Amino acid sequence: MSMDKPKPREQFTLSLRVRPEPIMVRDPFLEFLGLVGPEEPIAVGFEELVKAAGHMCPTVAGAYLVLRHGLKALYGDEPAVRGNVQVTAYGGPTDFGYGPIAQLVNLVIGAASETGFGGLGGGRFRRRDLFIFRSDDLRHCEFDFARLDTGRSVHVSYEPNVVPTPKELSAAIGPALSSGDAASVARFRSLWNGRVEDILEADARVVRIQAAE
Amino acid sequence: MAAHQFTSATTVDDVVHADPALSRVLNAHGIDTCCGGSATLAEAAHVRGIDLDKLLAALNGDNEPRERSVAVATAPTDRCAAPACEAAAPSAPLPRAAVTVPAAPRPTRYVRFFTASLLFALTFGSTLGALTLATLTLPWSFIGGLPTDSAKVAHGYAQVFGFAALFVMGVAYHVIPRFKGAPLAAPGVASASFWLQAGGVLAITLGILAGPPAVGPIRLMGALALLAAASSFGWVVHHSLAAGAPTPERFERYLRTGCAWLVIAAALAVVTASGIGSLQPAVWETALWGFGASWILGMSLRIVPVFLGLPPLSQRTSSVLFACYQLAVLAWVSVAVIETWALLPIARALAGAMLGLAVGAFLLRLGIFGPWENRPTVGDRGYEKFMVSAYAWLLVALVCTPAWSAVAALAGSSTPALVLDFGRHAFTLGFLTQIIVGVAARLVPVFVGTPLWSTGWRDVTFYLLNAAVVARGLEVLVEVAGLSEAWAYISISGPLGVGAFAAFAVNVFMTMRVQPPASASVPTGGEPTADNLVADLLTIPGALELLVSRGLRPLQNPEMRKAMAPTVTLRQACRIHNIELEPLLAELYKLAAISREA
């Protein structure tokens, strides 16, 4: 029996009980290339982060919330500007979820480590070295966000455990991964995705913004 | 002293919140501090196969004052026993020098079971059976003064309680802890069950060969030993299964019920040895349809969909089939016992029809004869033919035993003895033995951690075994078609069967005697190769997750990881699990490169 190939998903939309609002940014390089209009904002939705990360988890939710609230603290209601924000993570690339978070930060605000875009000409539109890993000062999910144009910076920490974790979640992982039967996977999915939704629902409660030291 | 005192109930999240620097200690033990943070330290240690006490000692900073941050990150941590924990120092480059793989005890409990099983098959089992068959069908005696009836009984005990039961026990004691991710309950009792089973079979067969007056007491002692062995086997299986979480396939109930049937069969053997010799057929019915078939159908639920890429049965269907099958066996055995004293033709007809329908429905739902989907195209799949052929012979056995018996009972006649004999051998030789051989060809390499010694000998076993059953099928022609000139040719079945057992035994022994290297070099220069031991490759950060995601799922189980990883190379693991080697190697190479650069 032949089966139709699944159609590509043009609009990646998640079915969540909360609807995270998109993060608004501007991208001067896109504007320079004429791919978007002058000062035309771009909306980066939570779905795009999930799509880029290839999964949804408390860390992906954390990246989203840290970015949204950190950028809001720097820019208020204005769109944040790509290439104009330096992000410092307190830990190395393999500590906690800093590695995956760095990729999502790059997606939203352009900041990247030494692998980032080097810029044109004299380094215009440069995104390289705008994400810094402080391997020498390890803290738990803490970041600095700094605006390069004004020098303003904030310290952002992410604390998902403000929202209680279902006790069953840890025990559900093993059966879902080992046996892979439909019931175990469904149970795991429900608990796992529910945990992420709980965090998204808690929103600003899991993120703490302070003035940078 | 550490600022915090962590216990087994502390969660990973709590640890990193108390001191983020400890995340590197956790990482060094392979414990995920990101998505897996909700687990307790006990759970995380269990999943990773880590010594919890050592982990707690490392976290609590026993023996040395702990400093924050980088000091902890660079401090050496205790090595744990699991190969995966060799992923110590995640941000450090791969060790370049040769390392000794942690000494993991080689799981060899099954070896004595397999060895005794095959010795019984090659002596009192298939060989004595072949000589008895030749004596019955040719004009010469090959068993001296031993009555053929006694020889048949000795042959039956050696094959059913010696070969089949010991093999099943060996497999069970090895795989159940791996299926359940929990250690075997009471290894001492498991060991005792071996000596009781082997001793019991030996006593019965030697007693029968010795003849009167010794046979009575010796056979009774042997039967009592079998009863004790079956009880202890059942006890260990029950508690080992109970140690882990219930599995969705529900194969466990087949195993538990199979153990119960073995106890009943052994109890009937005791009664038979006590003087009621007419109960002997009931012993065979119980042991074959109760114990043997329950175990094989149960294990089929667990492994056939995996081995052949078939969809698993739904739980509801599985429950209905299980209930129908066990009721049918109960009726079949009960009628066999009662008919020792009084004939029950209607009951026998009903029981036979129920048994045939229940097993037929099981096979239909299992889909063993249907189109297989998701068939991997890589690797040696030589065990498939054993499985398909075995289930085909099971259908033949169903026709020749319960179905024919049911029809004969309704017609008011007795079932032809030769047809029953063929049906029993279609079951024992065609189904039971063939499944054992096929599964062994698939599992023994996994147990030992090397490829099968010879796929050629495996295939020779297959052809000899099936030829033996076909030759035995001449009995039906003699009985039904009156083809009396075929009578002498039935004896060919014997040597063919012995040849099959011999080829199988050689293959198993040669595979088991391979000694995997106890130590090996980690990838020098950081380049993993196909001939690296899996344990060495697991020293690459992220390799465990990669290998599991690509199909080496047994590595997820700490018990399996301890047993397998130090004994099998990547090339062998890929062959065993039908995984394409080159793409996986390329991914490992990338991981190693990333690790070096970190």
ipTM rounded to 2 decimals: 0.71
- DSSP character at residue B430: I
* pLDDT at B413 (0 to 100): 86
Across the interface, of B43, B248, B556, the residue whose CB is closest to A181 is B248
CB A86 within 8 A of CB A111: yes
Residue numbers in B near A135 (CB within 8 A): 70, 91
Q: Which residue of B has its CA nearest to A161?
A: B13
Which pLDDT score, from 0 to 100, does residue A68 have? 95
Q: Ranked by mean pLDDT, which of A31-45, B18-32, B79-93 comes out on top?
A: A31-45
Output the pLDDT for position A120: 85
User: Is B127's pLDDT higher than 60?
Assistant: yes
User: What pLDDT shows up at residue A179?
Assistant: 67
Ranking A4-18, A50-64, B386-400, B468-482 by mean pLDDT, the lowest is: A4-18
B209 vs B305 pLDDT, higher one = B209
In this prediction, residues B40-64 reach a mean pLDDT of: 74
- Average pLDDT for B97-114: 54
The model's pLDDT over B534-558, given as tens digits with 9 standing for 90+, comes to 888 887 777 787 787 677 777 776 6
Tell me whether B414 touches chain A (CB under 8 Å): no
pTM over 0.80: no
Chain B residues in contact with A140 by the CB 8 A cut-off are 16-17, 20, 23
> Is there a contact between A138 and B38 if contact means CB atoms under 8 Å apart?
no
- pLDDT band at B381, cuts 50/70/90? low
Q: Distance between CA atoms of A59 and A101, rounded to whole angstroms?
A: 7
DSSP state of B65: -
Q: Is the pLDDT of residue B211 over 80?
A: yes
Using alpha carbons, select from A56, A36, A69 the residue that is nearest to residue A97: A56
Lowest mean pLDDT of A143-147, B116-120, B272-276, B301-305, name the range.
B301-305
CA-CA distances (angstroms) from residue B136 to B211, B480, B491? 19, 19, 8
Assess B318–A contact: CB distance below 8 Å, yes or no: no
- Check whether B33 has a pLDDT greater than 90: no
Sign of CA dihedral B447, B449, B451, B454: negative
Mean pLDDT value across residues B413-431: 92
Strands laid side by side in the A85-89 sheet: A131-133, A85-89, A142-147, A153-158, A207-211
Contacts A173 to B, Cβ<8 Å: 36, 39
Choose between B308 and B199: higher pLDDT: B199
Residue, of A26 and B313, whose pLDDT is higher: A26
Measured CA to CA, the distance from residue B41 to residue B6 in angstroms comes to 9
pLDDT tens digits for range B338-355: 998 998 899 999 999 999
pLDDT for B519 equals: 37
Tell how far CA B549 is from the center of its chain.
24
What is the DSSP secondary structure assignment for residue A89, as one 8-state letter? E
Q: CA-nearest residue of chain B to A139?
A: B20
Residue B545: closest C-alpha in chain A: A177
Percentage of the residues of chain B whose pLDDT score is greater than 70: 78
Is it the case that residue A131 has pLDDT exceeding 70?
A: yes
* pLDDT single digits (tens) B184-210: 888 899 999 999 999 999 999 999 988
- Report d(CA A42, CA A36) in Å as an integer: 9
Report the pLDDT averaged over residues B409-418: 88
- Which one of A1, A137, A138, A162 makes the best mutation probe of the B interface by having the most chain B beta carbons within 10 Å? A138
Across B198-212, B221-235, B267-281, B518-532, least confident range: B518-532
pLDDT band at A213 (very low <50, low <70, confident <90, very high): low
pLDDT at residue B407, as a whole number? 92
Nearest Cα residue in chain A from B597: A93
Confidence (pLDDT) at B47: 66
Q: Within an 8 Å CB–CB cutoff, is residue B309 touching chain A?
A: no
Q: How many CB pairs under 8 A join A and B?
A: 77
Contacts of B20 in chain A (CB under 8 A): 91, 95-96, 138-140
- pLDDT band for position B26 (cuts 50, 70, 90): confident
The percentage of residues in chain A with a pLDDT greater than 70, rounded to a whole number, is: 95
What pLDDT is stored for residue B449 in this prediction? 61
Residue A170 in contact with partner chain B when CB distance is under 8 A: yes
CB of B69 within 8 Å of any CB in chain A?
yes
Nearest CA in chain B to A166: B38
Q: Rounded to an integer, what distance in angstroms lies between the CA atom of residue B382 and that of residue B6?
A: 51
**Cα(B460)–Cα(B437) distance, integer angstroms:** 11
Residues B377, B379: Cα–Cα separation, whole Å? 7
pLDDT grade for B311, boundaries at 50, 70 and 90: low
The whole-number average pLDDT for the span A82-102 is 92
**pLDDT digit string (tens) for A43-53?**
999 999 999 99
CB B252 within 8 A of CB B324: no
Lowest mean pLDDT among B90-99, B288-297, B576-585: B90-99
Which pLDDT does position B380 carry in this prediction? 47
Give B247's pLDDT tier (boundaries 50, 70, 90).
low
Contact B248 A184 (CB under 8 A): yes
Sequence-distant (≥ 6) Cβ neighbours of residue B39 within 8 angstroms = A170, A173, B11, B12, B47
The pLDDT of residue B306 = 61
- CA B249/CA B314 separation, integer angstroms: 8
Interface test with A, best of B11, B22, B26, B35 (most A CBs within 10 A): B35
Least confident of A110-114, A177-181, A189-193, B225-229: A177-181
- The rounded mean pLDDT for chain B is 80
> What local confidence, expressed as pLDDT, does residue B521 receive?
45
What does the pLDDT read at residue B354? 94
More confident call, B586 vs B332: B332
Label residue B378 by pLDDT band (50, 70, 90): very low
A80-94, B41-55, B366-380: least confident range: B366-380
